[in-house]
Amino acid sequence: EVQLVESGGGLVQPGGSLRLSCAASGFNFGSYSMNWVRQTPGKGLEWVSYISDSSSTISYADSVRGRFTISRDNARNSLYLQMNSLRAEDTAVYYCAREMLTGNCLDYWGQGTLVTVSS
């Protein structure tokens, strides 16, 4: 069974940093591209970042480029999101999501981890 479990969310002050993790199991993690997607009540679902299976291709939403860094450790079946210079508008539930091998879609999602940026 495919499982994605996020962790690392919490309350952080504006300007602070946080590192999210996503532990994958039930599939060959190293063969799949992965994504981070966030959700806020006001802005809905927003794609945040993408990393290819070998980490050779990485992309970011304009809203986080230069502040967030996506990475992965295929040996540990783990995906990460380092978030720096956090702003109030980064407050959201963050999901890691697997990209389907053929289909350009997100076929499995984790349960999400809440990040709250507030003083």
| Residue (29 or 50) nearer to other proteins, CB | 50
Cα 71 vs. chain centroid, distance in angstroms?
A: 9
| Residue (35 or 91) nearer to other proteins, CB | 35
Shortest CB 25 distance to other proteins, Å? 16
| Residue (13 or 59) nearer to other proteins, CB | 59
Which parts of this chain interact with other proteins (CB under 8 A)? 35, 44-47, 59, 61, 95, 100, 103-112
* Angle 87-93-99 from CA coordinates, rounded to 5°: 110
The CA distance from 48 to 62, in Å, is 9
The CA distance from 113 to 115, in Å, is 7
Shortest CB 108 distance to other proteins, Å? 8
